[in-house]
Structures are given as C-alpha cells and as structure tokens.
Structure 1
Amino acid sequence: MFRFNVSVHARPRSMQLGPIVAIRGLRLQTLSVSPAALGEPMGASFEVAQSHLNELPRMFFEPDGSFVWVGEVGDLKPWQVDGVVYDRNASLHVVEMKGSCSETAFDTLLSAFGWPGTDLIFQLTDEGVFIDEGEFRRFAVVR
C-alpha cells in the first residue's frame, strides 16, 4: 500500500541532484528543480486523462479536474485518492494527489497522465522536496 501527498510533474530537461535528506527514516536523494523548468508537458491532454479516469470503477471525476477514487467496499485495506489535474497549452501540466492505494492502482492513475511514456518527478507536498520515481516508490510504501 502507498500513502502520499504529492504534486506530479513531467521530468524537466534541466535539473540537478539535490542534497540527500532524511524523511520518515529514509535517506532520499532529492532533485534541484528551478520553478521555470517545471513547465514540461505530461504525455496526455486533459481530455485524454479525463477519458481514462472516467473508465475506472468508483472514480468520480469533475469537469474542473478534481477527482476522487475509492477502493471497493470490503477491501481488506480501505483506500481513497483525492486529486486535481491541471492543464496548460493543451497538455497536462501538474497533478496534485493525496491519499492511499495499492501500487497497482497508483500505476493506473499515472498511466492516465501519460506514464510510462513520460518520465515523472514527484514533489512531496508536506516535505517540500522533489524526488524521482524510484525514490518516491521507496518513500510511499506504508511500513
């Protein structure tokens, strides 16, 4: 099970490694990303993401880009993901998400945003740092 509160961005062309930081008992390699570099488009438009998300069972997607996806009644570990997708210039710009779900469900969400064709980075909202996908997956696992 993953637990997270993140902003998801397309991996910028220009960025550098940042410091290694300790968060939740993990040493994570951060990324140094300038705000100007965060404009890379994701690999899907708002409409494509909306179409993919609307196909998911128990997904509630609003025209403003907000969504809620919940697990099935009776799941051993109940889960829910809340989020908002933002677009700019006909492509997704950033996705904000928080909640918990299985890694498989998380991958399903990411696929609606153009992953794995688009490399992604994750800004940990509460911690204020950027990390790559591998570090995110280590961080998000509920221990």
Structure 2
Amino acid sequence: MLFRFHANIFALPPQDSNGGRITLRGVELHTLRSQTFDAFFSVAFEEAYDALAQLPRIDIEPDGFFVISGDLDGRRWQLNGHLYDFGDRLHRVELHGDCPPESLDAILACIGWPQTPLAFELVMEGVALDEAAFRQFAAAKPTS
C-alpha cells in the first residue's frame, strides 16, 4: 500500500479541536476546527535536517528541500518535501507525492513524532486533519 497526498504538516496547536465531517476520496473524515497553526515543533530546523539526511535514498539540500524515493513491489514511489522555519524553530513540513506508511513514519520521526501530535493540512482540499484521519485519507484511492 502507498499513501498518496499533498499536505503541510504542523505541530498540533493545543487549542485545536474536532471540527465537522467531510467526505474525501469516498471516506468520511473528521476535520480539525482551528486553522491557526502557530505551534512549533520541538526540534529545530537543523535537527530535523540532520535526522532526515540519515534516511536511505534521500537527497536533501541546505535550504530544507528534499526528495526521498524507493520501490515497493516493483512500483516506484517518491515524496518531495520542504522544511520551513521561522528563526531557528521548525514551523512546518510540506510533503507531496506517494510513499509506503513506513517511509512516512521515518520522516515524521525526524520532526519529533510520535511525541509531538501532528496536524495535516491538505493543500488541494483546504482542510486540516488529525493523524488518524490523514492516514485514512492518504490510504484511500484518489478520485479524478
């Protein structure tokens, strides 16, 4: 199974709460109510960068742009990503593409997960999801 998505990943702000429901890719999902992502990750940009640089099959640039790829059952997958900081604090990570769940977990571990709860803002759909809803969305087959 490959996840497919385009999302901004934030540290979940403490004031976020459950919002309404939405159906995406044929799956009913709970959204997050607050759209203010003002929390920072517990790791600094440089720490996330150094951790990501240790992952296999990754190419990472000093500005925080990275590409990671691989093969699963003869199918090529690739994620493009970018670390964004304000000052020396990591604010968000943008990820776009597809990957196995284990590869996403490895990337998320580099930014403090699972200790840091996450919010996933779907770029094209314009909604924010918690981790469980995001994983349901990412695993669902995209519709045209």
TM-score by length of 1: 0.92
Q: CA RMSD in A?
A: 1.4
- Counterpart amino acid of residue 8 in structure 2: S
Whether the aligned pair in 1 keeps the contact of 2:17 and 2:34 (CA below 8 Å) is yes
Q: Check if 1:56 corresponds to 2:55.
A: yes
Paired residue for 2:64? 65
- The offset of 1:15, in angstroms, is 1.9
Q: Secondary structure at the match of 1:41?
A: coil
CA contact (8 A) 2:25 2:140 kept: no
Alpha-carbon spacing, 1:42–1:62, altered in 2? closer, same or farther (3 Å): same
CA–CA distance in structure 1, aligned partners of residues 46 and 67 of structure 2: 17
Q: Does the aligned pair in 1 maintain the 2:19–2:33 contact within 8 Å?
A: yes
Structure 1 position 97 matched with structure 2 position 95: yes
> Do structure 1's residue 42 and structure 2's residue 36 form an aligned pair?
no
Unmatched 5+ residue regions in structure 2?
Answer: none
How many residues in Structure 1 have an aligned counterpart in Structure 2?
140
Letter in structure 2 aligned against 1:40: A
Partner amino acid for 1:19?
A: G
Percent identity over the alignment?
Answer: 39
Gaps of 5+ in 1: none
- TM (norm. structure 2) is 0.91
Q: Secondary structure at the match of 1:79?
A: strand
Misfit runs of 4+, over 3 Å = none
Once the two structures are superposed, the pairs formed by residues 1-143 of structure 1 within 5 Å of their partners are 1-35=2-36, 38-72=37-71, 76-143=74-141
Distance 1:106 1:4 in 2: 11
Looking at structure 2, the residues matched to 4 and 43 of structure 1 have their Cα atoms a distance apart, in angstroms, of 24
Q: How far apart are residue 75 of structure 1 and its match?
A: 5.1
Task: Give the Cα–Cα distance (whole angstroms) in 1 for the partners of residues 137 and 60 of structure 2.
Answer: 27
Whether the aligned pair in 2 keeps the contact of 1:7 and 1:125 (CA below 8 Å) is yes
Answer whether contact 2:13 2:39 (CA < 8 A) is retained: yes
Q: CA deviation at 1:142?
A: 4.5
